[in-house]
Amino acid sequence: MAKVSLLLFSLFIIVASAIINGSEAVEKVGIYELKKGDLSVKFTNWGATIVSVFLPDKYGKMGDIVLGYDSVNDYKNDTSYIGSVVGRVANRIGGAQFTLNGVHYKLIRNEGKNMLHGGPVGFSDVVWKVNKYKKDGYAPSIVFAYDSYDGEEGFPGALRVTVTYTLYPGNRLTVRMKAKALNKATPVNLAQHTYWNLGNHNSGDILSEQVQIFASHYTPVDSQLIPTGKFATVKGTPYDFLKPHTVGSRINKLENGYDINYVIDGADGKLKKAAVVKDKKSGRVMELFTNQAGVQFYTANFLKDVRGKGGYVYESHGALCLETQAFPDSVNHPNFPSVIVYPGKEYKHVMVFKFSISS
């Protein structure tokens, strides 16, 4: 899962070169902050990444509930996609290849013979342009943009992508991801890969956090975590979170932990509640809504000796990810909803995180 190292950064600001529509553009990489009420979120335009999310606990004490690093340089060297937007196609593509409109495309492999999260240099490893930065008002927001060129990591067609982060009253963080195919049909499946620990990023594992996922089915995978193309019921399996369960209650029945795509009940392209996470010790609650058909539940199984913020070392199960998405490897499974975006059409992906406190 290692990613390709690119250019060295300075601590917080560098000047990086990006190729946009065949011409070179210079974009600074920095840290940006939005605040609304009790919610404070920091971002970097390296990978359109969420750097920190500060919220009070039930005692009023502020804490950072996402894993991350102290410097932009550390994000550049990250191999776990911490906090970033991943694409052009999130999750795995079996054999790093697919056929579209009679043309066979071979992609750049970065996980054995497969592609993971867009390849060695996916959207998490590029500099995004800051299109708009509104710090004040009813809904503070920031817009990141990236122009992906035809052939990038093997994908067909130029793609114009934007990610908008907005804070709303009531401790709500909204993520809107859009993409337009400019000249060729192409697969698109973006995901936001933040690692959440509602007890605080440095509070240890998340095995005692309570999770509810509104999905009666999941997409089974093979030994390489590639979907088989089938659907399976969660009933009678460790994957059943239709009622709240702690993460650790059945995790020992799985080889490494959770890393599976759920089929959200009633998904129809409109906002639906996908999951709820509760941390009893801090009292923090996170509700997740999305317009996507799937959500990947991942319990940071492969984190090992990752030195994060303040020197704290992150280990396996030190956080959880809830990555709303289209189904993994959809390009190779005709029975899965299509992820192909045609010129003149727009991909739209919305996530809403609503934070609250329970006693």
Would you tell me how many other CB atoms lie within 10 Å of the CB of residue 58? 15
Catalytic residues: 193, 323
Does residue 25 lie in a domain region?
Answer: no
The whole-chain average pLDDT of the chain stands at 93
The predicted pLDDT at position 359 comes to 77
* pLDDT tens digits for range 133-187: 999 999 999 999 999 999 999 999 999 999 999 999 999 999 999 999 999 999 9
Q: Which two tokens stand for residue 56?
A: 């009070």
Is pLDDT at 6 greater than 50 in this prediction? no
Q: What is the distance between the alpha carbons of residues 183 and 352, in angstroms, rounded to a whole number?
A: 31
Identify the CATH number of the domain in which residue 80 sits. Answer: 2.70.98.10
Does residue 84 lie in a domain region?
Answer: yes
Q: Which residues are annotated as a binding site for beta-D-galactose?
A: 91-92, 193-195, 259
Does residue 291 lie in a domain region?
Answer: no
Paired with 144 in beta bridges are 130, 163
For 109, the domain range is 31-205+299-357
- 120 with 3: CB under 8 angstroms? yes
Is pLDDT at 318 greater than 70 in this prediction? yes
Does residue 345 lie in a domain region?
Answer: yes
The predicted pLDDT at position 25 comes to 52
Would you tell me how many other CB atoms lie within 10 Å of the CB of residue 348? 12
For residue 284, whether the previous peptide bond is cis, meaning omega lies within 30 degrees of 0, is: no
Q: What is the distance between the alpha carbons of residues 256 and 278, in angstroms, rounded to a whole number?
A: 22
* pLDDT tens digits for range 206-265: 999 999 999 999 999 999 999 999 999 999 999 999 999 999 999 999 999 999 999 999
Does residue 243 lie in a domain region?
Answer: no
Is pLDDT at 130 greater than 80 in this prediction? yes
What confidence tier does 27 reach under pLDDT thresholds 50, 70, 90? confident
Q: What is the percent of the chain with per-residue pLDDT over 70, rounded to a whole number?
A: 93
Does residue 261 lie in a domain region?
Answer: no
Answering whether pTM is above 0.75, one says yes
Q: Which residues are annotated as a binding site?
A: 91-92, 193-195, 259
Gap between the terminal Cα atoms of the chain = 39
Q: Which two tokens stand for residue 259?
A: 């890393």
Based on the structure, what is the number of domains in the chain? 1
Paired with 97 in beta bridges are 106
